[in-house]
Structure 1
Amino acid sequence: MRYGLTGARIFTGEVFVDGACLELDGGQIAAVHPAGQEPEGLPCRSLPAGSLLVPGFIDIQVNGGGGVLFNDSPTPQALAVMVAAHRRFGTTGLLPTVITDTPAVTEQAAGAVLTALTRPGSGVLGLHLEGPFINPARRGCHAELFVRTPSEQDRQGMPDLARRLGPGRLLLTLAPEQVEDDFIRAMVAAGAVVSGGHSAAGAARTRQAVAAGLSCFTHLFNAMPPIAGREPGIAGAAILSPQAWCGIICDGVHVDPLTLRLVLAARGAERMILVTDAMPPTGTDADQFRLYGETIYRRDGRLVTADGVLAGADTDMAACVRNAVTLLELPLETALRMASLHPAMLLGQDRQRGRIASGFVADLTLLSADLTVLGTWIGGDWATGAADG
């Protein structure tokens, strides 16, 4: 069914357009018509005055939501719950994330994602494996029991998994010092995106890994050593790798906003990505959940173990966009790109998502003037947002 959306300011992924009509045709964007030039007879829906129509948010690091932890429930049904929970906060596409666990959990998660990828409008864009090839000294809340270096079976099976999922559908977070460059090259050749994280790698080792194909850094500054005068480490190497992408948790908790502003001053925002690192409480009123059999508490905007160790984040993508504007003092256009176009580019999906343009998937987010979510379209299908219930 063809129809138009009018009344909102439209952010194309590049610029804001006033007075335009966005024409949808089923699950795709048909056209953006300038003011007064919509096709005669096109049925139109008027959007709230002052609202913003923007490309749907893409979250590449989602551990859970709606009361579900993907590690514990690696099923298509759990994915549907997670997508619905995050959709209320503007996310129209996500990478469900498995943190360090057994090979059996990884395989079950891959099966669930493969099933979701066959369903148009599922909201699932691929799989993020955060581990198990991480540094045990920088594991954070990951279970040390499951941390390992790649086995011979992994060296064959992980590239096979990337090929099964398809190009850009597997994001693998690893510690560069825990793997060989040949493993990174094999993963990239198979179509995976390799990201550095949960690592104590020095700058030299990190730069070698980037040369081998590592192209992203997972939640910059978290689970990695601070930059030091005589050893900039993985964080320093990330900042000085202009072609690499950096994910940041912009919640005001995981990284001091002034530190993130230093990063932006050093490298700009062109390859920065907002992520949530969200856990099961997102979209619920729960004040705790279980992780590896341990209780994680939701307290004052934090998710922490009994010892106070951060265990994921208590945030959502709309909040991260608002924080990027208020805490990092970024232009709204830049913050929106960090939530949509940039992750689409990382995953090689920027000819389908991340922009409002003819031929793109109709994954859209409708924001109020204060950047709360009024609703979303996934594949052209509408659902109300957190602001409406």
Structure 2
Amino acid sequence: MGSEQAEPPPFAISADRIFDGYRWHNHALILIAGGIVQSITSRDESASRWSTEVMPPGTILAPGFIDLQVNGGGGILLNDQPTPDAMRAIAQAHRRYGTTSCLPTLISDTRAKAIVAIAAAKSVAGGDGILGLHLEGPFISPRRPGIHPGDYIATATMEDLDWLGELSAVGSSMVTLAPECVPARFVKTLATSGIRCSVGHSEATADTLTAAVDEGLSGVTHLFNAMPAMSAREPGIVGVALTDDRLTAGIIVDGIHVDPVVVRAAFSAKNPNNIALVSDAMPTVGTEQDHFELMGRQIQLRDGRLVCENGTLAGAHLNLASAVKNAATFGGMFLDEALRAASLVPARFLGIERHRGTLVAGAQGDIVALTPNLEVLTTWVAGNRPQSVPNPERG
């Protein structure tokens, strides 16, 4: 397991506004003991035994953000270093932006690399802000590769369940796949074992996707991107995603991957309790660097866009604090919906909402403090302000 800090003594945090994942509390205190939320109470009812930290006027406290799709950060790409130290460093790079837990994400690569990543995630899942692992590929459509290297995209066989099934022992993990590229019962086998399955980089028809949902597929990876557009007679992935409440749709709200008008349309069409903000972040997040190499391809940061030589988007230069702010401004979401989309919704998708994604009694004390302008002031993880972890050497 990952390294843990000593348990802090009981304490309270006072703020003008506290959002617990479900409702607002004004001029309140959140009480934490043993790293666990005990209650949220009014300032007038605070007991003298609670050492209280008073946040600046206007501060908002909310559940720490949970990012389901983090390819990299802090100058590190998981595909380059699928190790425990790299996963810790990526999570640490995103913590300053309010993300208290995440799924490090490996895009399509060799089977050997995926197996190494699974083993690494197994050793750290549950600590250091790492919930599990997200394998985005390799069982995706060669017609919708995005930035995924075509040489590593594969059609699944039932034998692949032998190694892929190891994810069931890795905390809360997920697989992005194209339902049309896997055999019958493939999704059902994964979902039954506790692995979340999500459609992405796919050209599945509405019927094919609905059949996969019936088998247990429950997510949509970066809605609108790397999938066909919805049309009058071909609803496709987008149509099913917007109308089937069994699906939690991740969406990249950076103003680049999805036009703001389309973002607002999605938020209007789909139950906001089934929309999760994701970063799809790359190594540039948390650094000053404007380029990196992705499996032999040069990626440049230009006007906020990460693109390869031919202009294909290569992940995002985005963090969840910015995604929340964007969702609440040009996305047209209410603030509570935007905060929930970055916390409770992804927690519920992973089945961990009793302990993460909320600030109700019994939940882990993962908290983000925001200014009225939604800038991150600080975070707590299990009641601790996390200490930095060293970056592994970059090759």
The correspondence for 1:149, drawn from 134, 140, 155, is 155
Give the corresponding residue for 2:293.
290
**AA of the residue aligned to 1:136:** P
Question: Is the Cα contact below 8 Å between 2:76 and 2:90 reproduced in 1?
Answer: yes
Instruction: Give the residue type in structure 2 aligned to 1:42.
Output: W
Structure 2 counterpart of 1:315, from 292, 312, 318:
318
How far did residue 180 of structure 1 move? Answer: 2.3
Task: Classify the secondary structure of the residue corresponding to 2:364.
Answer: coil
Which residue number corresponds to residue 198 of structure 1?
Answer: 201
Asked if residue 363 in structure 1 is aligned to residue 381 in structure 2, the reply is no
The match for 2:145 is 139
CA distance in 2, matches of 1:7, 1:240: 38
Does the aligned pair in 1 maintain the 2:140–2:154 contact within 8 Å? yes
Greater Cα offset, 81-90 or 1-10: 1-10
Given that 2:167 and 2:173 are in contact with CA atoms closer than 8 Å, whether structure 1 keeps it comes out as yes
Quick one: distance in 1 between partners of 2:220 and 2:209? 10
Match of 2:6 in 1: none
Counting aligned pairs with the same residue, the percent is 42
Secondary structure at 1:137 match in 2: coil
Residue 340 of structure 1: aligned partner = 343
CA-CA distance at 1:117 after TM superposition: 1.9
Residue 105 of structure 1 corresponds to: 113
Output one character per residue of 1:108-136: Cα deviation in whole Å (capped at 9) or x when no partner. 111221111254xx100111000000001
Alpha-carbon shift at residue 329 of structure 1 (Å): 1.2
Deviation by residue 1:261-302 (Cα, 9 ceiling, x = unmatched):
222222231200000000000000100000011110001111
Q: TM-score, normalised by structure 2?
A: 0.94
Aligned counterparts of 2:35 and 2:142: Cα–Cα separation in 1: 44
Cα deviation code 1:84-131 (max 9, x no counterpart): 110010000000000000111111111221111254xx1001110000
2:89 corresponds to which residue? Answer: 81
Contact residue 97 and residue 321 of structure 2 kept, 8 A: yes
8 Å CA contact retained: 2:157, 2:182 = no
- Rounded to whole Å, the distance in 1 between the matches of 2:311 and 2:255 is 17
* Segment drifting more, 173-182 vs 335-344: 173-182
1:18 to 6, 19, 26: 26
Partner SS for 2:385: strand
How far is the alpha carbon of 1:69 from its aligned partner? Answer: 0.2
Whether the 8 Å contact between 1:374 and 1:384 is mirrored in structure 2 is: no
SS of 1:289's equivalent in the other structure is strand
In structure 2, what is the equivalent of residue 162 of structure 1? 167
Distance 2:17 2:228 in 1: 42
Partners of 2:245 and 2:358 in 1: CA distance: 23
Q: How many residues align?
A: 380
Deviations 1:119-172 (A, max 9, x none): 4xx10011100000000110100011111112343122222x133225xx1211
**Cα 1:312/1:305, change in 2 over 3 Å:** same
- The one of 117, 126, 131 equivalent to 2:132 is 126
CA RMSD of the aligned region, Å? 1.4
User: Separation in 1 of the partners of 2:187 and 2:158?
Assistant: 14
List runs of 5+ in structure 2 lacking aligned partners: 1-8, 389-395
Q: Does 1:353 align with 2:356?
A: yes
